[in-house]
Amino acid sequence: MSGRGVTGGAKHRLMSEMQELSKEKWVNIDLVNGNIMRWRLGLIVVNPESAFNGGYFKAEMTFTHEYPYQPPTFRFLIPIYHPNVYPDGSVCISILHTPGEDITSGEQASERWSPLQGVESVLRSVLLLLDDPEINSPANVDASVMYRDDRAAYNRKAKETVEKSKGDIPQGFVMPNSLEPPPPPKTADDDAAFWAESDEELDFGGSDTGSDDEMAEFDENGEEGSDDDDDRS
């Protein structure tokens, strides 16, 4: 494949991914100078059980023309005290590592980047990592020790970061309180129609005066019931 073909493929794939992600409430996407190869993100934590709940974390992703065959880069643009976040905001996470198995790190190929992954996979992995850090191979040793030994202090630092991050919420942007879509409106007619069905409509052919044994025989046979079911389909 020519370099031009790879470039066009990367841009087409990224435009498609951005269009899909724009429907999600937990991420806000802008392009840096209109460049589809550089994304400026607001990554939003909507999880009441998370120490980072309510955070609006500015981040940036960059892509090469070899995307999706090579992974993007990801880094937070604000300081985050976390075992797997480096001082420059980059994140130590397997999904951002080049494809293939790495004997040195012990990472399996399935844990690392592959062309089947995408931006959403990366962002969801980062959100999971925020709440479930890997403390055995930390990027920030102090944060790892605090997370392990003094969780209350660690959570306080996380909350401080959340409060600072709220200053980056764009004007007019509405922060989500839940990721669940509202239930569809339910009309009273739906229930009324169900309960308005006549006895004849609910009668599957059994005799009103038949014994329990006759009814049991009828249920086991099921022939009459099958005919009614066909009529109803």
CATH of the domain at 161: 3.10.110.10
Q: pLDDT-based confidence at 215, cuts 50/70/90?
A: very low
Is the domain of 101 the same as that of 204?
A: no
In terms of domains, do 27 and 140 share one?
Answer: yes
177 in a domain, yes or no? no
Q: Is residue 70 part of a domain?
A: yes
- Evaluate whether residue 182 is within a structural domain: no
Task: Work out the burial of residue 10: count CB atoms within 10 Å of its CB; fewer than 13 is exposed, 13-18 middle, 19 or more buried.
Answer: buried
Q: How many domains does the chain have?
A: 2
Whether the per-residue pLDDT at 66 is higher than 70: the answer is yes
Phi, psi (degrees; rounded to nearest 5) at 226: -65, -40
Whole-angstrom Cα distance, residue 69 to residue 113? 8
Strands 27-32 and 35-44: antiparallel
Which whole number is the average pLDDT over 153-182?
Answer: 91
The reply to whether 107 and 209 lie within a common domain is no
Question: Which pLDDT does position 3 carry in this prediction?
Answer: 45
Residue pLDDT, tens place only, 2-49: 444 456 899 999 999 999 999 999 999 999 999 999 999 999 999 999
Please check whether residues 136 and 206 belong to one and the same domain: no
Q: What amino acid occupies position 26?
A: W
| Nearest by Cα to 91 from 40, 118, 130, 43 | 130
Mean pLDDT, rounded, of the chain? 82
Burial code (b: 16+ CB inside 10 Å, e: under 16) for 84-94 equals: bbeeebebbbb
What pLDDT shows up at residue 61? 98
Beta bridge partners of 75: 60, 90
pTM over 0.75: no
Contact 126/139 with Cβ under 8 angstroms?
no
Q: Which residue has the tokens 């004007």?
A: 171
Q: Which of 10, 92, 139, 162 is catalytic?
A: 92
Whether 92 sits among the annotated catalytic residues: the reply is: yes
Helix 223-232 vs helix 212-221: crossing angle, to nearest 10? 60
Q: Which of 97, 72, 58 is nearest to 14 (CA)?
A: 72
Q: Residue 113's domain spans which residues?
A: 3-168
How far apart are alpha carbons 112 and 93 in whole angstroms? 9
